[in-house]
Structure 1
Amino acid sequence: MKSITIITEQVSAKALAAAMPTTGVASVFVNPNPAATPRDHRSMESYQALRNPRRFRPDYRIDVVVDDDAVDAVFDGVSFAYGAGLFTDAEMWVNQTAPAAAA
């Protein structure tokens, strides 16, 4: 089992359901205000030698516990949903083991 964490500004229940594969997902937790992330984070991006601030407000933390062979399917589904505009700006990463499996 692995845990995937997604931090995003906006997400709906329909978008989340559309992004998840039908098999291999053990649980999905949505936390509306992640305590570990600052409320108003700024990052600087460089575009043609100009530095432009880009605001990223991490409003939702989504933790998904999946089987080892479903990690790619979840990443593909979320990436497709992001490309289709169902998610706003987001960050996503895989934790090596699910929290319950580590205990």
Structure 2
Amino acid sequence: MACAKKLIPLLDRVLVEKIVAPAKSVGGILLPESAAASQVNAGKVVAVGTGGRAKDGTNIPILVNEGDTVLLPEYGGTPVKLGEKEYVLFRDDDLLGILHD
């Protein structure tokens, strides 16, 4: 994060930067906003917390790492603005999966 403030999530929370859909196709064709917006439900993990706590006090580790591309739920998360960039804060168990290339 190249901004003045840095956010470190607490416990089982994950800070995600949503991936913006491309406005053009690979061939240079302009895509309509409705088609581009409906296709992207993914984001890049920017920061992760230390993990949750079980009832006995043991640490439950977070399953994603910084830099992972994750599948996001359609709704949810807490919007956070740091500098000029916008992020979304999710709980670890709200994320749907990890996307691999």
Normalising by the smaller structure, the TM-score range is: under 0.3
Largest Rg, 1 or 2: 2
Q: Name the TM-score, length of structure 2 as normaliser.
A: 0.25
Q: Name the TM-score, length of structure 1 as normaliser.
A: 0.25
